[in-house]
Amino acid sequence: MIEVQDLTKQYAGRVAVDGISFFVRRGEIVGFLGPNGAGKSTTMRILSGYMPPTSGSALVAGHDVFRDSISVRKNVGYMPEMAPLYTDMRVKEYLHFRGELKGLGGRELRRRTGEVMDLCGVTDVRRRLIANLSKGYRQRVALADALIHRPPLLILDEPTNGLDPTQIRHVREMLLDLRDQHTVLLSTHILSEVEQICDRVIMIHHGRIRACDTPRNLKNQLRAAAAVHLELQGNGKVIKELEKLPGVRKAVEEEPLEGWRVINVRVEARNDIREAILDLATREKWRVRELHQQLPSLEDVFVELAASDAPPRNT
């Protein structure tokens, strides 16, 4: 569905996207992650036909985004982070207008407008001016706009921005339901959502791709360390003795809890040192109240990649 090869976008004095290459298969939900300024939104604008690249190539549904942007736009439903809605129009009126611009008409337009309003949960505000809607409702109207012409590819830039937890869950369930008919490329800062719905994750930093894999493989293969949470009562050399254990990166003591020392032990990836800690506590006669392992999350991977100086890689 998407084929990107050596894509570059330069502005005066800086490179926003630096020779990236990746692909998205038909029917996939792919998370596009990176800190602010990493190049996510620029890449999405290029793929949507709203902005030409400086060099490289990008195909969407077989159409070149530079030479055939009109065909690209017909195949893409694009929702920018700050959707430019016409706030002086009513919701239903706006979606009717947008559907006409995208080639719908007559009975099909009326039917499809009703479908996307129901799907995105805006039927109850269909007669209200967009200017009077909350940010969450505006996001849902923008999502309905992206869906109205049944595009095979959805490009969603922060689609859950401004939504409450119930609305976020609704969007997540909706995207999973849409995967049979749509390929989805989305950026988001809610990494727990990415873990639950995305087939693959592309992480971009400083305009270059740092990793591209499934959420599970990223957590298993990258350098992000696990951690062990420990609550105990012991002598003053607890930290020193813990840091002597093989596989321990660092032991950090936090605020005590009800007279118990609370220690977070950072561990090298794929190392389970709980038994070694328990053996040490037995020898030193420490009283242990709690000992459990905290496996790395996608957020840990994201933070570590963003801080890493390792050579980037394209996939």
Please give the Cα distance from 16 to 26 (Å, whole number): 27
What is the arithmetic mean of pLDDT over 264-276? 85
Question: pLDDT value at position 151?
Answer: 94
Q: Are strands 153-157 and 2-11 parallel, antiparallel or unpaired?
A: unpaired
Q: Which residue has the tokens 């660092």?
A: 250
3-state DSSP call for residue 237?
coil
> What pLDDT score does 75 carry?
93
What is the gyration radius of the CA atoms in the chain, in angstroms? 24
* Alpha carbon separation from 311 to 179, 211, 215 (Å, rounded): 33, 11, 20
Q: In this predicted structure, what is the pLDDT of residue 225?
A: 62
Question: One-letter amino acid identity for 20?
Answer: I
CB 41 within 8 A of CB 158: no
Tokens of 106: 């007559």
| Residue percentage of the chain with pLDDT more than 70 | 94
CB 205 within 8 Å of CB 34: yes
User: pLDDT band at residue 149, thresholds of 50, 70 and 90?
Assistant: very high
**For residues 104 and 108, what is the distance between their CA atoms, to the nearest angstrom?**
7
Q: How far apart are CA 259 and CA 261, in angstroms?
A: 7
Q: Which domains does the chain have, with CATH numbers?
A: 2-220 (3.40.50.300), 225-295 (3.30.70.3190)
Contact 94, 129 (CB under 8 A): no
What value does the mean pLDDT take over residues 110-123?
93
Across all residues in the chain, what is the average pLDDT? 87
Residue 262 has pLDDT above 80, yes or no: yes
Summarize pLDDT for 153-168 with one digit per residue, the tens: 999 998 887 778 888 8
Cα–Cα distance measured from residue 110 to residue 97, given in angstroms and rounded to the nearest whole number: 11
Asked if 131 and 72 count as a contact pair (C-beta separation under 8 A), the reply is no
pLDDT at position 315 over 80: no
φ and ψ of 65, to 5 deg: -70, -25
pLDDT above 90 coverage of the chain, percent: 55
pLDDT at 312: 46
Q: Which contacts (CB < 8 Å, 24+ apart) does range 67-76 have?
A: 72/47, 72/48, 73/48, 73/49, 74/102, 74/103, 74/149, 74/151, 75/151, 75/152, 75/153, 76/47, 76/48, 76/49, 76/151, 76/153, 76/154, 76/155
Q: What is the pLDDT of residues 275-307, one digit of tens each?
A: 999 999 999 999 999 999 877 777 777 776 666
Collapsing DSSP to helix, strand or coil, 138 comes out as helix
Q: 52-73 as b/e, with b when 16 or more CB fall inside 10 Å?
A: ebeebebbbbebebeeebebbb
Report d(CA 148, CA 99) in Å as an integer: 6
pLDDT at 311: 45
To the question of pTM greater than 0.85 for the whole model, the response is: no
Q: Is the pLDDT of residue 224 over 60?
A: no
pLDDT attached to residue 305 = 66
